[in-house]
Structure 1
Amino acid sequence: MKSITTILKGTIATAALFAITQCTTAANASGGDEKTFIVGPQTVDCTGVAPMKCLQVKETQSGAWTNFYSNINGFTYEPGYEYVLKVKTEKIENPPMDGSSIKYTLVKEVSKTKK
């Protein structure tokens, strides 16, 4: 009996590990999109939960500047420069009531131009 019990325990553990691995892989595969952001050389006053400074962002050269209320993980802004960034966007499953439903992560700083 010990050998059958040992075999069953091993089989169950292997199946569980396989299931967890597949879920993780599927979640990462559908992780998010990549966007290009143009970040302006100055921040502006804006109000989110409280008064704050917002980056000015647009997705095309001809687009209008919009206030960007979130952070871009891995990006350090320096005033006086216009940036072109490749950014990964990921949907946050259960975002905080006062937070964004999208997580932004820097993939690549394409350019940084003094303005």
Structure 2
Amino acid sequence: MKSITTIVKGTFLAATVFAITQCTTASKAASGDEKTFIVGPQTADCTGVAPMKCLQVKETPSGEWTNFYTNIEGFTYEPGYEYVLKVKTEKIQNPPMDGSSIKYTLVKQVSKTKK
């Protein structure tokens, strides 16, 4: 049977590791992550708060196109082109009820291909 001291030491070590990883994760989320988005050559009809046009976005070439309901700050979409973008994501502290909880900002337009 383990002694109380061994159990306390193990618990303290586990709690310390957990605290360190959570601090790292929290600061990474606060500073934002980068993602690669592939933006399709056409928009699609979709409904957010009201009927609208959504960009078609996927994160991998073999992925499925999904509706993208918000904008990417610094990016100007032109129909007929497929884009590969590096995008910074930042969590919004108090998002509007009808808005995204993530802010997307263009870091770099990697490519723009006529389709």
Correspondence 1:47 to 2:47: yes
Cα-Cα RMSD: 1.7
Correspondence 1:110 to 2:110: yes
- Give 1:30's aligned amino acid: A
For residues 39 and 63 of structure 1, the distance between their equivalents in structure 2, rounded to whole angstroms, comes to: 12
Query: Match of 1:30, SS?
Result: helix
For residues 48 and 94 of structure 2, the distance between their equivalents in structure 1, rounded to whole angstroms, comes to: 19
State the shift of 1:29 in Å.
8.7
- Give 2:44's aligned amino acid: V
TM-score (norm 2): 0.75
For residues 29 and 78 of structure 1, the distance between their equivalents in structure 2, rounded to whole angstroms, comes to: 30
Partner of 1:12: none
Partner of 2:9: none
TM-score (norm 1): 0.75
State the shift of 1:31 in Å.
1.4
Correspondence 1:91 to 2:95: no
State the shift of 1:58 in Å.
0.1
- Percent identical: 88
Partner of 1:79: 79
For residues 99 and 48 of structure 1, the distance between their equivalents in structure 2, rounded to whole angstroms, comes to: 9
Question: Structure 1: where are the runs of 5+ without partners?
Answer: 1-26
State the shift of 1:30 in Å.
3.5
Question: Structure 2: where are the runs of 5+ without partners?
Answer: 1-26
Partner of 2:6: none
- Give 1:112's aligned amino acid: K
The answer as to whether partners of 2:30 and 2:91 remain within 8 angstroms in 1 is no
The structure that has the greater radius of gyration is: 1
Q: Deviations over 1:9-63 (max 9, x none)?
A: xxxxxxxxxxxxxxxxxx7993100000000000000000000000000000000
Q: How does 1:6-45 map to 2 (within 5 A)?
A: 30-45=30-45
After the TM superposition, which segments of 4 or more aligned residues of structure 1 sit over 3 Å from their partners?
A: 27-30
